[in-house]
Chain A
């Protein structure tokens, strides 16, 4: 039996590893571009800049293509030296968008090459719309948390709301500003609890146990690529485990375009050989689509077209997390010295617990005191002239922070992928996405609640920055679980093609606020465990 997993990101890696553990031979097909390694391990971010031949080219690109212009909502861009993201200029790019700016990856390891490392699990409330029980998910989470080590507290105020998270490493070290904020929270937590605000230490998929060779050394370069691979990346761990198995075959240079079907069964795969640019076909028996919700949706739509199924050629849904950033000044940290070395991503998280039906009760926020970033977009956003803004920013830097809120999403009429023009033998896909008024109200109320909480924590919130649609990078729901030909069953099996499994976020029928990566791995694991092979 020829079993093919499509996609080499978190979902594909965990689906493949689970199938291998079941004793099946697996081929994993991937475009599989490699990202160069990250030099100078141990060197802190600011020292690293002095060692680079051309730091501007490294951090902003030779043509400064990653420079964030003034008067834009963006505060952060992945540096061009990180090669895992696919640009719309890429010849393999086949998305058209109307106000939705997607991030996709053709790198080995996928978008997980650049994730923020926050590791959370969905709980009963998060998946209340899913046709899956929490016990099924929890069984998968337990497997995943054995494969991915997570740093975090065993018990804190957030633990009751973060069921299914199993930390196995010490929490990430806090900065002095984090400590002061946490102390402030401890003093006011009873009052804050009444408004549903909880603050705690982040649950991060990062090695922190100093006895490990690849433990985090706090070099503040998470965003630019962890030189020690301390942050979980399927490329270095899960896929490496797969590759150690004799039944595994990693096939790179293949962009799967569609699946070939006959009598409602998948019998082959149509793919672009990226080295020769030729479109080829190969037979297969079972396919696990794990190319990421956007690519999986696109492959599924092209498959429907090829199968001449009488359905409209658009997906059932398209979801993403809306991202809102609330910058603040922590008064207790004004004028304090900065930590010499710190973890670049967030060390604290903030939960907003409310009854805001139909949304999940838990709204996830990442609470970050700035340690090492390129600050010019923040300086430009300050309401003073550049010279004063620059001086003020650096005088206040140890006190500056940002809360990033990740808003849940639901399948909404009109938000979907639509198959459009056929070019070079494979169709492009239009991404249609609009926020609903209901969600905007929820966002407004939640932002107001968090701003109020920040004030109670002796922090001054200043403005609200909304990332463009698509910047959440938590894409889901393109082939969701449910009834209908364009959906899959609770086991991830396509309702139309019984030997096709949807093993990534495309199968999620709703998108909770919590970070998605561990749930992608758990879903892929669950689907692969129960697949009928």
Chain B
């Protein structure tokens, strides 16, 4: 299959496609799934995002039972729900296919038709009798959860995210796009930019900025050159990081590189964001700008440099959430990861200090959120038995980071169980930590 699932609210994976085909009595075909998935990847940017109860219904995975309930419920009450787009498109692509059409068109003739229709209508009544109570139960579940959740719509907001080409940064980008934000993504090189551009739908409101964070001032210079006003950002998530695994703690070159990417580039960015935003341009060789969304004129306008500079119609963001993605590793040393843990410790402590200083600013208000993720599936962790045990879904972590930061939370540590384990290990003393971590194996350089 060519297309992966980028936007789970709208897209379906191969297993869900199989369930859809089983429900519609059609034979799944990889070629048709590719068409379906590619189309659904563009739907978040073409149709209204499902909010409230509709969004609640869209989140869980599709199973045969759930498809049957959602199909009827949305046909009756929620005509723009993603499942309607999924079913409509699934029927359309199968109808275009010779075999799919024959499967659909096979129908009873003459008097059998009348009998079948009566039987189907009786089945419809039964379906209705099952679906309505189910829908009522879903509504109750939604109402009970709504009391503890905030709105997750990012419509009209502009988010800057670094390190969007993979790992947590990529999931943060997809989450923000799916929830209606315009995203300014920072990637390290043109190759990453081109790969990402090819993967995302052309209509995605995405601006890609190339900046090599290992170069001093590169990020700020790239943003200034792209004419992105600091005040237009609602949220800025600094997620890019480098980890030189297996190198000596005494390797100063690696240490400098790590601190430049993981710490100083963030401090430079924070200075630009919270300061005047009128830094010097810097060496242009370290940054390039590329925008996607060239097929939709409105999106193009929204992400063109001039509109960003004018902040076209959006107004300035009254609050900017600065999110510093640190690590639970900042609580302890780890011999093979060289300066990574040290840089993250510096980031966490510096972030706290920054928050203190910014509190004294008048006028625009900034919030600083330090995120200290534990183990989850990212480019920074290797899939071992332990990581699988303590696995945190990157999608859920991304959602928690964005909603937490916008709600003004100072620290986010997902999953919290891992944070408790880390702190317990810290309390057990250095010898215990040595015995625990000495067996950990390095994984090379990861960015």
Contacts and interface: CB of A to CB of B under 8 A. Distances in A.
A57 B32 CA distance: 10
Contacts of B106: 394
Contact of B117 (A89, A377, A392): A392
Contacts of B410: none
A374 B91 CA distance: 10
Interface string A56-68: 1111100110010
Contacts of A384: 72, 75, 124
Interface in B98-135: 98-99, 101, 104-114, 116-117, 120, 123-124, 127
B93 A334 contact: no
A388 B119 CA distance: 11
A391 interface: yes
Interface string B73-91: 0010001100011011101
A59 B71 contact: no
A50 interface: yes
B105 A49 contact: no
B95 interface: yes
A70 B88 contact: yes
Contacts of B256: none
Nearest to B80: A71
A56 to B, nearest CB: 5
B92 A60 contact: yes
Interface in A371-408: 374-377, 379-380, 383-388, 390-392, 394-397
Interface residues on A, range: 35 or more
Given A46-B98, A335-B111, A394-B104, A376 B295 contact: no
Contacts of B95: 374-376
B89 A391 contact: no
B35 A388 contact: no
B38 A64 contact: yes
Nearest to A70: B84
Contacts of B38: 63-64
A390 B99 CA distance: 16
Interface in B6-60: 23-25, 31-32, 35, 38-39, 42, 46-47
A337 interface: yes
Interface in A393-426: 394-397
A421 to B, nearest CB: 14
A49 B68 contact: no
Nearest to B297: A89
B312 interface: no
B88 A376 contact: yes
Contact of A383 (B75, B87, B88): B75
A56 B35 contact: yes
B96 interface: yes
Contact of B93 (A60, A375, A383): A60
B194 interface: no
B80 A335 contact: no
A335 B108 CA distance: 7
B47 A69 contact: yes
A367 B68 CA distance: 35
A385 B131 CA distance: 11
Interface in A302-359: 334-337
Contacts of A374: 92, 95-96
Contacts of A88: 297
Contacts of A56: 31-32, 35, 93, 96-97
Contact of A335 (B92, B105, B114, B120): B114
A397 B107 contact: yes
Contacts of B108: 335, 395
Contacts of B110: 335-336
A64 B88 contact: no
A99 interface: no
B105 A394 contact: yes
Contact of A50 (B24, B98, B109): B98
A55 interface: yes
B120 A388 contact: yes
A387 B23 contact: yes
A55 B32 CA distance: 10
Given A335-B109, A387-B71, A70 B85 contact: yes
B89 A394 contact: no
Contact of A69 (B68, B88, B91): B88
B229 to A, nearest CB: 26
A64 B91 contact: no
Contact of B96 (A49, A334, A336): A49
A50 B91 CA distance: 17
Given A384-B124, A385-B75, A60 B96 contact: yes
Contact of A67 (B23, B92, B109, B120): B92
B116 A59 contact: no
A88 B297 CA distance: 10
Contact of B89 (A46, A59, A67, A385): A67
Contacts of B88: 67, 69-70, 376-377, 380, 386
Contacts of B31: 54, 56
Contacts of B92: 60, 64, 67, 374, 376
Nearest to A45: B101
Contacts of A46: 98, 101
Nearest to A59: B96
Interface centre among A67, A375, A376 (most CB of B within 10 A): A376
Given A70-B84, A388-B124, 12 more contacts: A49-B101, A55-B98, A63-B38, A64-B35, A64-B93, A67-B88, A70-B79, A376-B88, A384-B72, A391-B107, A394-B104, A395-B116
Nearest first, the 4 A-B pairs at minimum CB distance are A50-B98, A335-B113, A71-B79, A64-B39
23 contacts: A46-B98, A50-B98, A54-B31, A57-B35, A58-B96, A71-B79, A335-B109, A335-B111, A335-B112, A335-B113, A337-B109, A380-B87, A380-B91, A386-B24, A386-B75, A386-B88, A388-B120, A388-B127, A390-B24, A391-B107, A391-B116, A394-B105, A394-B107
